[in-house]
Amino acid sequence: MEREPIGVVGAGWVGLVTAACFAELGHEVWARDIVREKVESLQRGEVPIHEPGLSELVAKNAGRLHFTTEMDDLLERAQLLFVCVDTPPTYSGDADLSRVEAVLRELGDSNEHALVMKSTVPVGTGRSIERRRNGIAYVSNPEFLKEGSAVADFMKPDRVVVGADAGSEAYADRVEALYEPLCAEIVRTDVASAEMIKLASNAFLATKISFINEIANVSEELGADVLEVARGMGLDDRIGPKFLQPGVGFGGSCFPKDVQALKQLAGNTGYHFQLLTAVVEVNELQKRRTISKLQKHLGALPGKEIALLGVAFKPNTDDVREATSLVLAGRLAGEGANVRAYDPVAGPKAADMLAGAQIADSALEAIDGADAVVLVTEWPEFGELDWTGEVKRRMRVPLVVDGRNFLDRDKLVEAGFTYEGIGR
Ligand code: UGA
């Protein structure tokens, strides 16, 4: 069967994954970005972000993937235009929709195209566009991709959400058809509900994390082991085991922003979303708790050498937005500690954001002479370090704060480390 050509507006993280995956499914894809250098490097086959499997997919489907700076290239060749531009938070906490508005202007009053919204937008955005642009074809198709496993998530989705209001159903059917080869559960609904599914899903996952983080904090006081608690809870089908890993707080470009956005949206209607206020606050405090764990063992921190292992907000990405490492580096600098940070991919990118921390070229270099190691991101290579040998020899004081409960606690304790996990 002939697969229909697709336009992708915005070749950022979501746009690139979307473009590459639809090309993999057999579509001709025209992806447009306004940043010329980015487009030129993509035309040479260079992928500017670190996302497992993406470069391979782009290379494999080079014949079907076309990168351009010109919107007309898309408008001439595709009717379904996937909008994948960013919608960052503004100072007021509302989403900045200026890039979405720019796409609308470029579309003009075409009635041969449909906007398929993948960008995360406030609930009500679609309806407002439909009201302002009478007759526009508009489909909401939010993304649920996790950084670090986005390609796999696209190809094996838990569900695909397609929202359309009266008048746009035919286009929504075509969007649905695109996903047919993936054999996923399709949630067909109206635009506002589709928009809410996206925000509510992220807010719920963030709530789950803040919840288990609070259970962890209380477990520390009461002598329970949160890993045992999470295992026991997660086996309940109604709760489920995922997103119950306690840690040093959630970061990234989505949870912090989307929780805030939903809280703000509710607030704009006069509704006070109390639960989300707590979710955000718990997360902010969680990012800072490491400081008191260090002080408990080292006393005052001025002049202390602290190694931060991991800068990215999670493994397998170079994304440092809202990363806990940034908060920790700032707090440690404020306490007068000297910080050396290492990350397998995100180090150089984050150099200016780490409050004067030095960026080490290897984990061992960061650890050398340290009074404490704080594991911030659970990159696999940190598990493979020779903790009981080389690492311990290099440290001044064998103190580890394992911010992700990632290391083998018993082995470290046996080797003479002081070990602080989260909630155990
Ligand atoms: C999140 C959602 O999981 C995706 O479904 C969604 O599409 C995406 O946001 C988005 O809106 O674009 P992402 O931000 O890439 O994806 O990362 P997650 O894997 O969800 O992790 C977010 C943060 O939560 C990380 O800092 C991670 O370390 C932390 N986390 C996650 C925990 O602390 N505990 C957990 O159990 C799980």
Listing DSSP states for 126-139 in one string gives HHHHHHHSTT-EEE
At 148-192, the pLDDT tens digits run 999 999 999 999 999 999 999 999 999 999 999 999 999 999 999
- What local confidence, expressed as pLDDT, does residue 92 receive? 82
Q: Which burial class, exposed, middle or buried, applies to 244 when counting CB atoms under 10 A from its CB (0-12, 13-18, 19+)?
A: buried
Evaluate: CB of 12 within 6 angstroms of ligand 1.
Answer: no
- % of the chain exceeding 70 in pLDDT: 100
Please state the atom number of ligand 1 nearest to the C-alpha of residue 248: 33
* pLDDT band per the 50, 70, 90 thresholds, residue 270: very high
- What local confidence, expressed as pLDDT, does residue 348 receive? 85
Evaluate: CB of 252 within 6 angstroms of ligand 1.
Answer: yes
At 112-136, the pLDDT tens digits run 999 999 999 999 999 999 999 999 9
Is the pLDDT reported for residue 281 higher than 90?
yes
d(CA 193, ligand 1 centre) in Å: 22
Mutate which of 253, 255, 404 for ligand 1 pocket (most atoms within 8 A of beta carbon): 255
Please state the atom number of ligand 1 nearest to the C-alpha of residue 201: 5
At 353-380, the pLDDT tens digits run 998 999 999 999 999 999 999 999 999 9
Nearest CA to ligand 1 atom 30: 250
What is the three-class DSSP state of 140? strand
Q: Beta-strand (E) ranges in 59-113?
A: 65-68, 80-83
Evaluate: CB of 255 within 6 angstroms of ligand 1.
Answer: yes
d(CA 208, ligand 1 centre) in Å: 11
120: CB partners within 8 A, 6+ apart:
87, 95, 142, 143, 198, 199, 254, 257, 258, 261
At 187-242, the pLDDT tens digits run 999 999 999 999 999 999 999 999 999 999 999 999 999 999 999 999 999 999 99
d(CA 392, ligand 1 centre) in Å: 32
Mutate which of 17, 118, 146, 378 for ligand 1 pocket (most atoms within 8 A of beta carbon): 146
Q: Point out the residues that are catalytic.
A: 254
- What local confidence, expressed as pLDDT, does residue 282 receive? 98
- % of the chain exceeding 90 in pLDDT: 94
Mutate which of 18, 314, 324 for ligand 1 pocket (most atoms within 8 A of beta carbon): 314
Locate 115 and state its tokens: 């906007």
With CA atoms as reference, report the closest residue to 366 among 335, 331, 330, 329: 329
At 73-116, the pLDDT tens digits run 999 999 999 999 999 988 887 889 999 999 999 999 888 999 99
Evaluate: CB of 30 within 6 angstroms of ligand 1.
Answer: no
At 312-366, the pLDDT tens digits run 999 999 999 999 999 999 999 999 999 999 999 998 889 999 989 999 999 999 9
Is the pLDDT reported for residue 1 higher than 70?
no
